[in-house]
Amino acid sequence: MRSRDFYSGFGAALFLCSLAASVPSCGPTVALTLRPTCNITTPNGFNVYSSWGTHIVVDKTELCAAPSTYGPTPILEHKLVCDEGDRGSMSAGECRSRRGNFLEDGGFELAASGDVLGTLNNQNPNWVHNTGNFELATTSPIEILPELVLPVTSGLITKGDQHTQSHLPLNEKSTIIEALHTAGYITERSFSIDVGSEDFHSPRNGLLTFGGYNPSRVLGDFPKFDIDMDALKLEDTERYCPLQVNIDTVTVYINGKPFDLIFRDNKSPACIEMYDRLLRLPEISLKILRDALDGLQDVELIPPAGEHKDSRYENGDDGEILDPEPGLIFRSNNETSGVLTSMTIKIKDGPTVTLNERDLVQPLVGLSSDGTRVSNDSYSKIMVYQTAGQGLAPILGRAFLSKLLMYVNYDDRQFQLGLLDEESVSQGTTGQCTSPPSNSNKTPALSPAEIAGLVLGTVAFLLAAAAVLYWFFRVRKRLAEAETTKGELGRLQDEHQRHVDNMEIHRAPEDGGGGRERGVFEPPSRNRIPVPV
């Protein structure tokens, strides 16, 4: 029994050690706030009302940048993209807000040499295929947080319409992630993202964390998916996408009736891209949705008011409202309320995401002619792009990710998707745990809450270690005492037996003879049976 106590104690120690090892470590991380509306007031007085993103600074110019897996380098807006001949039907104010502000000549270091531009073009084949070669670049560092400046080269957007704002790169060759890793701000090439919510009635900030994730934000399972480095392009397309999943089904419920938009026999993987807000469906799926809506008496999809690619809709006395990310639009009234009940997206070997009516249908929010942000609740916008994607691959944007936490680890070539614990998020759990970089002169400041967390964590660890050591040495002491007691009892038993044997030898025969001969020792039989006299 004593040895069993020892092994029980030793097993408990092993259990506690394995439990500590299984808890995700809180390594050094860098966290950026993602805002549902990224607004800027420029030094010369312009107000910029951009959509979702985070603030970055390039040579004192503040930009709204959206995280993206589109390419490995930052791709920043330049003022040429909003010149009168290149902005299409947009006004100067609309263009500036839609682009999240832009860089102007003289405020940053231009890099127009052939070597720099050639390297950027080779690094960004996806961009070159859709927009053309870079004409300008900058080697000015990017400030992603106050006092955290990263030396990277950025391509500049001078033309094109296949984008909304500047790109903050998150793909497997991201120069931002590499710069943070090289400087020692993070110890693994990874990031996690909670995109927040762009719900018009209850928006919520998100969080982009480089170097790890907070497990308390995940509700339930957190399955892993492989990143296939040899198949980074979607099938049948030229679209580059490192984060691919297979979809079992996408089902939309219209007046309670299910319509399958994606089927189990569709073998094309889907692309997860946080730069896009809406869900982009392949042509056949978009047609199913349009036909289902056209079959309703009270719902009529409204085409854009103008010929420009950006969608414009009449906005009463205020002119028109520009939809920066054009979705399916219909007029709102009492009869259309509750028509689209929900949408479910079932990921193969992963979570099932359910978008309820409020997630799926939002009031139309866009830009007025002066670039200010306006809304018109007489229109309803479905979180599906009005144009189809290439091939058969759907693109899952932020409307999908708003229900999830995604953790991407490029060192392990894997990413994870789990349902977001909305209660944890509502309580303000950020998962930020920072530590000084290993080879940097700058030491990121810790907040009082972070300091308290570190102190409590250290105390808890020391107490647990002390408890394990106490248990271990206590059991060893009890085992040693048991062995000592056993030895003493054995010695006393042996002495007692010798005493009994001596008495047996010297005892006089009671029957006048037949006794043992003196001086001859015969060990007594413990199983002797008395013979009747």
Query: How does the average pLDDT of the chain come out, rounded?
Result: 80
Q: Identify which has the larger pLDDT, 59 or 354.
A: 354
* Structure confidence at residue 461 (pLDDT): 60
Ordered by start, the domain boundaries in the chain are: 38-184, 217-426
Confidence band of 470 (pLDDT split at 50, 70, 90): low
Assign 133 a pLDDT band (cuts: 50, 70, 90): very high
Q: Residue 130 — very low, low, confident or very high, per pLDDT cuts 50/70/90? A: confident
Q: Residue 512: what residue type?
A: G
In this prediction, residue 295 carries a pLDDT of 86
224 Ramachandran zone, left/alpha/beta (phi>0; psi -120 to 50): beta
481-493 average pLDDT score: 55
Position 139 scores a pLDDT of: 93
What integer is the mean pLDDT of 521-525?
Answer: 36
What is the rounded average pLDDT of the residues 509-528? 38
**270 pLDDT exceeds 60?**
yes
pTM: 0.76
pLDDT band at 365 (very low <50, low <70, confident <90, very high): very high
Domain covering 38-184, topology: Cathepsin D, subunit A; domain 1 (2.40.70)
Q: How far apart are CA 352 and CA 86, in angstroms?
A: 42
Give, for 5, the enclosing helix (H) or strand (E): helix 2-22
Q: Could you give the dihedral angle defined by the CA atoms of residues 237, 239, 245 and 250, in that order, rounded to the nearest 10 degrees?
A: -70
Instruction: Tell me the percentage of the chain whose pLDDT exceeds 90.
Output: 53
Q: Which residues pair with 414 in a beta bridge?
A: 226, 409
Amino acid at 335: E
Name the token pair of 454.
């570190």
- Give the pLDDT band (50/70/90) at residue 338: confident
> Where does 217-426 sit in CATH, by number?
2.40.70.10
Question: What's the pLDDT at 25?
Answer: 47
pLDDT at residue number 513: 43
Give yes or no for a contact between 261 and 289, defined as CB atoms under 8 angstroms apart.
yes
Tell me the mean pLDDT in the region 480-486. 57
pLDDT of residue 459: 54
pLDDT at residue 313 greater than cutoff 50? yes
Mean per-residue pLDDT for 481-499?
55
Question: Running DSSP on this structure, what letter comes out for residue 233?
Answer: B
**The pLDDT value given to residue 439:** 35
Strand-by-strand arrangement of the 340-347 sheet: 257-262, 247-254, 340-347, 352-356
Q: Give pLDDT, residue 263.
A: 73
Q: Which of 200-214, 280-294, 443-457 has the lowest mean pLDDT?
A: 443-457
Mean pLDDT calculated for residue range 467-485 = 60
Q: With 60 as the cut, is the pLDDT of residue 485 above it?
A: no
Whole-number percent of the chain with pLDDT over 70: 72
Q: What is the pLDDT of residue 304?
A: 66
CA distances to 116, 117, 134 from 111, rounded to whole Å, are: 7, 8, 11
Rounded to an integer, the average pLDDT of 469-488 is: 59
Q: What one-character DSSP code corresponds to residue 45?
A: S
**451 in helix, strand or coil?**
helix
3-state SS assignment for residue 284: helix
**Using an 8 Å Cβ cutoff, are 10 and 472 in contact?**
yes
Element (H, E) at 504: helix 448-506
pLDDT at 126: 85
| pLDDT, position 44 | 84
Give the pLDDT confidence score for residue 114 in this predicted structure: 80
Nearest-angstrom CA–CA distance, 498 and 493: 9
Range of lowest pLDDT (45-59, 207-221, 291-305, 367-381) = 291-305
Q: What is the pLDDT of residue 84?
A: 85
Rounded to the nearest 5°, which phi and psi values hold at 421? -80, 100
pLDDT band at 515; cut points 50, 70, 90? very low
Confidence of residue 145 (pLDDT cuts 50, 70, 90): very high
Judged against a pLDDT cut of 90, whether residue 481 lies above it is answered with: no
Q: What is the pLDDT of residue 308?
A: 46
Evaluate whether 38-184 and 217-426 have a shared fold. Answer: yes
How far is the CA of 258 from the CAs of 45, 237, 244, 344, 453, in angstroms? Answer: 50, 29, 26, 10, 48
Q: Does residue 513 or residue 503 have the better pLDDT?
A: 503
Question: Can you give the pLDDT at residue 333?
Answer: 84
CA distances from 226 to 42, 58, 67, 123, 419 (A): 43, 35, 21, 23, 18
340-349 per-position pLDDT tens digit: 889 999 999 9
What long-range pairs does 254-260 form, CB within 8 A, spacing at least 24?
254/292, 254/293, 254/296, 254/339, 254/340, 254/341, 255/296, 255/339, 255/341, 256/341, 259/288, 259/289, 259/292, 260/288
Largest CA distance in the chain: 140
Q: Is the pLDDT of residue 175 over 80?
A: yes
